[in-house]
């Protein structure tokens, strides 16, 4: 019997190449990075004003335990704190007295459908600028 040492083919066996089962993710990562850059550049360009009807919303009601503070702006732009008419420059002082350093309580703003959007944003901006960050706009559900 003769034995083969070292080099040469083994008896009856041919060398088979195994299929590679690893996924090459480099092209995938490259594509994702390119898409990320494209969307980062394009996203600021997509903010365009669209005419919408704000008073209607399908949003669920926010749960609250206490009676919320309500600010109402009527069709003429007059501001009411609960049921009492106030001027814009007096509104924050009165709310601060009511809340007594509890600026995390929610304030609901009811704006008439016919009032200028700028007037509503003026009220919300005045509240936000004075530390009241939990301001919510109230809408009616669609019919």
Binned average pLDDT, 10 residues per bin, the chain of 143 residues: 54 72 86 91 62 56 64 84 83 79 74 83 84 77 71
State pLDDT tens for residues 9-40: 556 566 777 787 788 888 889 999 999 999 88
Q: Is 71 helix (H, G, I), strand (E, B) or coil?
A: strand
Whether 79 is in a domain gets the answer yes
Whether 61 is in a domain gets the answer no
pLDDT value, residue 3: 55
Burial class (CB in 10 A: 0-12, 13-18, 19+), 59: exposed
- The CATH code of the domain that includes 86 is 3.30.420.270
pLDDT value, residue 36: 93
End-to-end CA distance of the chain: 97
pTM tops 0.75, yes or no: no
| Alpha-carbon distances, residue 139 vs 47, 55, 56, 58, 61 (angstroms) | 23, 5, 6, 9, 10
Range of the structural domain that residue 76 is part of: 69-138
Whether 92 is in a domain gets the answer yes
Whether 49 is in a domain gets the answer no
What is the domain count for the chain? 1
CB pairs under 8 A, 24+ apart, for 119-124? 119/73, 119/77, 120/73, 122/88, 123/71, 123/73, 123/79, 123/88, 123/91
Whether 53 is in a domain gets the answer no
Whether 110 is in a domain gets the answer yes
Whether 16 is in a domain gets the answer no
pLDDT value, residue 34: 93
């Amino acid at each position: 019997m003769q034995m083969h040492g070292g080099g040469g083919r083994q008896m009856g066996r041919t060398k088979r190449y195994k299929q590679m089962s690893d996924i090459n993710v480099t092209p995938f990562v490259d594509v994702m990075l390119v898409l990320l850059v494209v969307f980062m550049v394009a996203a600021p360009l997509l903010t365009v004003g669209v005419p919408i009807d704000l008073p209607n919303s399908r949003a669920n009601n926010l749960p609250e335990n206490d009676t919320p503070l309500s600010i109402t702006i009527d069709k003429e732009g007059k501001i009411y704190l609960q049921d009492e008419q106030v001027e814009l420059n007096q509104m924050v002082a009165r709310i601060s007295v009511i809340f007594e350093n509890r600026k995390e309580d929610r304030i609901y703003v009811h704006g008439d459908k016919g009032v200028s959007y700028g007037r509503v944003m003026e009220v919300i901006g005045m509240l936000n600028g004075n530390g009241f960050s939990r301001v919510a706009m109230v809408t009616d559900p669609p019919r």
